[in-house]
Structures are given as structure tokens and as C-alpha cells.
Amino acid sequence: MGISQYLKEIGRGKQGARPLAREQAADLFAQVLDGAVSDLEIGAFCIAMRVKGETPEEMCGFLDAAHARLNRVRAASGKPVVVLPSYNGARRLPALTPLLAGLVARRGLPVLIHGTATESSRVFVRDVLQALEIQAADQAPVLRDGQVAFVPTEVLCPGLKRLLDARRLIGLRNSGHSLVKLMNPVDGPAVIVSSYTHPEYAVSMGAVFELMGATALLLRGTEGEVVADARRLPQMDGFERGVRVALQEGRRGTLTELPGLPKEVDPETTAAYIRDVLQGRKPIPESMVLQVEHILRLASA
């Protein structure tokens, strides 16, 4: 059937475009993920949604389609899996998503990091994990309590990886980049840790978690990564099966210097810092201490 009928609705510009119903959005995204559309149609979809913006109902439809096609991870014990999407990487600050994963894992929960490189100018978490001798999985694993696993996006869903890679040709982020920060790739209970870069996204992402009935932690992350910035204390909002709960008020002000935080962002330096923190040679940043406690609270709920 193709997606031309949907492109006619969403491709009329910011003022003229009409939102899709959740079922329509699911059908559109399913065809994109299944490779049933041409590269030209994928490009049109990416640009149209970039201009129009996704409604929460549309994003829920996209998630419905993605969830039906994911190769899902599960926990051997049945404990909640903490899900850390990682798609932005490091630019000026070290990519500390593996540190957050390690801090949560040593409290006994299984942790899944999923992601892929989406541009060439940053250091990505996969590189840091390799320096920590954590290799990427080639299939969706069964996680042990206290285990950290990295699963590339293409292992979870090849069609989603294809959509993310469209950025390299088009030069713009698309709906897939928003979706991966919201999706649940776990068969069983999970806590999704998600972040935003601009305040307006906190509203739309929160609405999606509510509609999806998700258990999640939402905060303003570090350069797009889901780690609380070590230089400040961001606001953190929780969702327990879709019900919003206030977890942490933000604190104004930013430290210009943080003792112990490396100035270099290369994988080896970042990995060495993470080892020092996990082994007690350097302190855990206060914001991350609180973030871990909030994740554990949501997992126990």
C-alpha cells in the first residue's frame, strides 16, 4: 500500500500538516522498519516529521510498531532491567553512561545499554565499553543480576538502524532518534532511563511515558546522554507504570571545575576514570549518586 497517503497528511508543513492517529502512525512506522518503502520515501518521512514534529500519540504509534519488531532482552531472575539508551556520545565532556551502568549493576540489577554511532565527530559509549573490556552482544542476551550488557541497535531491530543511518545522508535527526530514547527493548519489567536536551522535550517525552504506561526516569542529560551532569543537579521526574512522580528538584548553578573529572574525552581516559570511581579511588559525582537511588526506587516500585 505504501506510505504516500500518510505523507500527504504529515508533509503539508508545520501549519498545514495534520497529526496521525496512533494506529495510522503504527502502520506507517511498521512499513518503514520492514523495508517496505523506498529510500526516497524514508527521506520524505524524515523531513516531514522533522518539520511537523511528532505528537505524543504518533510517537506511541511508532513505539507500538517498533516494540512488535524488537529482539527483546530479558533478565534471568525476573528483576527489572535498567535500560540506558546511548546515541549521542561525548563532545566536550566524557561519556559516563558506562559509569552509571556500573553503579546500578553493583546494586544487583541487570543493566542494558543499547545504541549506535549516529555521527562521526563524537566519542561513543561503545568505544568506552571496549576500553572497559565489555564487548557488544551479537544477539539479544539473557542478563544476569549485576551484569552490564551492550546491545547494538541493529541487533535489536535492523530496520531501526537503517532509519537512524539516514541521518548521515540527510544531515538531520529524525523520529527514530527520539524513539530510541523512549523504547523498551525488554521482555519483562524494566526501568527506562531517558534524557532530553531542550526543556520542551521534557513535556512531550513525559506525555509518551504516561500514554505507554512506562516505568521510567526522565532528566536533562549530559550532551544527550542519560547521565546526570556531574557539574550540576538536574531535575529528575519519575513514571511508575505511566503515573508521574516527582523525584528530584533541580539545583541552579553549574560548577566550572569538578575535581577528578577528566578534561579529555577519549575512550581510554574515560575508562580509566570510570575504573577509579567504581574502585573507590575517586568520588562518585553527587548528581549520579542521587540518580542511582532514584533508579533503584523506580525498580522497586
In this structure, the answer to whether residues 143 and 174 fall within a common structural domain is: yes
C-alpha grid cell for residue 124?
561513543
In this structure, the answer to whether residues 44 and 103 fall within a common structural domain is: no
Q: What is the pTM of this model?
A: 0.94
pLDDT of residue 232: 82
The secondary element (H helix, E strand) that includes residue 151 is strand 148-152
pLDDT of residue 254: 60
CATH number reported for the structural domain that contains residue 137 in this entry: 3.40.1030.10
In this structure, the answer to whether residues 253 and 128 fall within a common structural domain is: yes
In this structure, the answer to whether residues 63 and 81 fall within a common structural domain is: no
Q: Is the pLDDT of residue 259 over 70?
A: no
pLDDT classification of 13: cutoffs 50, 70, 90: confident
pLDDT of residue 198: 84
Q: Give the tens place of pLDDT for each residue, 189-248.
A: 999 999 998 888 899 999 999 999 999 999 998 988 999 988 888 899 999 999 999 898
Q: Give the tens place of pLDDT for each residue, 128-170.
A: 999 999 999 999 999 999 999 999 999 999 999 999 998 888 8
Which among 49, 67, 85 is the end of a domain? 67
Q: Over pLDDT 70: what percentage of the chain?
A: 97
In this structure, the answer to whether residues 27 and 59 fall within a common structural domain is: yes
Overall domain count for the chain? 2
C-alpha grid cell for residue 289?
549518586
In this structure, the answer to whether residues 10 and 99 fall within a common structural domain is: no
Q: Give the tens place of pLDDT for each residue, 93-133.
A: 899 999 999 999 999 999 999 999 877 778 899 999 999 99
C-alpha grid cell for residue 218?
526522565
In this structure, the answer to whether residues 206 and 294 fall within a common structural domain is: yes
Q: How far apart are CA 275 and CA 199, in angstroms?
A: 32
Residue with the three cell numbers 519519575: 238
Q: How far apart are CA 60 and CA 66, in angstroms?
A: 10
pLDDT classification of 2: cutoffs 50, 70, 90: confident
C-alpha grid cell for residue 165?
543511518
In this structure, the answer to whether residues 63 and 211 fall within a common structural domain is: no
Task: Name the nearest CA neighbour of 117 among 91, 137, 87.
Answer: 87
Q: How far apart are CA 31 and CA 284, in angstroms?
A: 45
Mean pLDDT, to the nearest integer, of 21-31? 97
What beta strand segments (E) does 170-293 contain?
A: 190-196, 216-220, 236-240, 243-248
In this structure, the answer to whether residues 97 and 139 fall within a common structural domain is: yes
DSSP-derived 3-state class of residue 171: coil
Q: Which domain holds residue 24?
A: 4-67
DSSP-derived 3-state class of residue 220: strand
In this structure, the answer to whether residues 250 and 268 fall within a common structural domain is: yes
pLDDT of residue 253: 60
CATH number reported for the structural domain that contains residue 38 in this entry: 1.20.970.10
Cβ-based burial of 233 (10 A; exposed 0-12, middle 13-18, buried ≥19): buried
> In degrees to the nearest 10, what's the CA dihedral of 280, 283, 287, 291?
10
In this structure, the answer to whether residues 193 and 104 fall within a common structural domain is: yes
pLDDT classification of 1: cutoffs 50, 70, 90: low
pLDDT of residue 256: 56
C-alpha grid cell for residue 112?
542494558
In this structure, the answer to whether residues 62 and 96 fall within a common structural domain is: no
Q: Is the pLDDT of residue 300 over 90?
A: yes
The secondary element (H helix, E strand) that includes residue 84 is strand 81-86
Q: Is the pLDDT of residue 92 over 90?
A: no
Q: Where are the alpha helices (DSSP H) in the chain?
A: 4-10, 13-16, 22-33, 39-52, 56-67, 97-105, 125-131, 153-156, 158-170, 175-179, 199-212, 267-278, 286-300
